């Protein structure tokens, strides 16, 4: 997100399809097991339930097979007044946030300011007896969707089954130059040297196998907008793989072209995260818009 206000907005939490004829309250109780009856009635009264795109507040509203039921949520554009993260979804087990560039996912040896500490402060202010547990990471200068667990049990479920739980994880990137290929797959082994620089090799170099699928969305004279889907989740995977194509991400001072920084940030954003909920087993679908600064490059 490029702009931050304190105004409330409606955020899509999840969408489900009706499989059998029933009433709206019955459907919600059956499919949103983390919410009790009173909570669901409050959500209905606030017109945060949509049936086929139309806000509905009647608990006995009739549903038929094939209808799409969406739940919305009022959230602040910034989490407790902090411009670095925005709350996208929260229940008793997990929280999903949209991270802005410039903040670490978790503490490092020299930096304590990170997403985890901001979430812990938010939980404390909300009088919740839990802390944020890191499941996956985004680089400091990468923006986008992240999920955190609220206890160690949920964290372990997510970490131990991450490859099977995540159904679709995609990024959008602005890269240097015009992409020659419309789509393709990068398949290589990644290994760090003693200076923590990641190298890519087309043959096994003792590192970890990394697979990235890419699709070119649009191009202009000097840049390309590229969608990336991860099959593996290695450190620096996208940045290094795009470097191997000779189209590094803009603003990447480590793996990119020096001085190629038209928007003064790393041109990488995690815009989609679909995963199976670790407790309810529901398919959770979250997306954020492409950053405005990315799109503006291709309007000029």
Could you tell me the sign of the dihedral formed by the alpha carbons of 269, 287, 12, 30, in that order? negative
Backbone angles phi, psi at 141, to 5 degrees: -95, 5
Find the helix or strand (DSSP H, E) in which 187 lies: strand 183-192
What is the spatial distance between Cα 101 and Cα 123, in angstroms, rounded to a whole number? 22
What is the spatial distance between Cα 10 and Cα 76, in angstroms, rounded to a whole number? 9
Pair 62, 52: CB distance under 8 Å:
no
Q: Which DSSP state fits 248?
A: P
Total residues belonging to the chain = 300
Sequence-ordered strand ranges (E) for 111-182: 133-134, 143-149, 166-176
Active site includes 193?
A: no
Backbone angles phi, psi at 292, to 5 degrees: -60, -40
Catalytic-labelled residue, pool 109, 120, 139, 261: 139
List active site positions. 139
């Amino acid at each position: 997100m490029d702009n931050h206000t304190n105004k409330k907005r409606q955020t899509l939490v999840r969408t489900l399809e009706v499989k059998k004829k029933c009433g709206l309250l019955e459907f919600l109780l059956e499919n949103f097991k983390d919410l009790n009856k009173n909570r669901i009635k409050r959500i209905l009264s606030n017109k945060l339930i949509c049936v086929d795109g139309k806000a509905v507040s009647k608990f006995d509203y009739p549903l038929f097979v094939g209808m799409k039921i969406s739940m919305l949520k009022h959230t602040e554009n910034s989490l407790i007044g902090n411009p670095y993260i925005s709350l996208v979804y929260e229940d008793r087990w997990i929280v999903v946030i949209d991270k802005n560039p410039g903040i670490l996912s978790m503490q490092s040896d020299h930096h304590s300011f990170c997403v985890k500490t901001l979430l812990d402060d938010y939980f404390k202010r909300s009088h919740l007896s839990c802390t944020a547990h890191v499941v996956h990471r985004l680089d400091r200068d990468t923006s986008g969707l992240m999920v955190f667990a609220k206890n160690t049990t949920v964290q372990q479920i997510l970490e131990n089954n991450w490859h099977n739980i995540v159904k679709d994880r995609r990024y959008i990137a602005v890269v240097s130059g015009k992409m020659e290929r419309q789509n393709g797959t990068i398949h290589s082994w990644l290994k760090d040297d003693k200076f923590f620089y990641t190298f890519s090799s087309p043959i096994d170099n003792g590192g970890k196998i990394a697979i990235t699928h890419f699709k070119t969305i649009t191009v202009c004279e000097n840049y390309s907008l590229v969608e990336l889907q991860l099959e593996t989740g290695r450190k620096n995977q996208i940045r290094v793989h795009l470097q191997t194509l000779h189209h590094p991400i803009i603003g990447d001072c480590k793996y990119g072209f020096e001085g190629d920084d038209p928007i003064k940030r790393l041109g990488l954003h995690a815009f989609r995260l679909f995963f199976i909920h670790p407790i309810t087993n529901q398919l959770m679908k979250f997306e954020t818009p492409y950053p405005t600064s990315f799109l503006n490059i291709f309007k000029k």
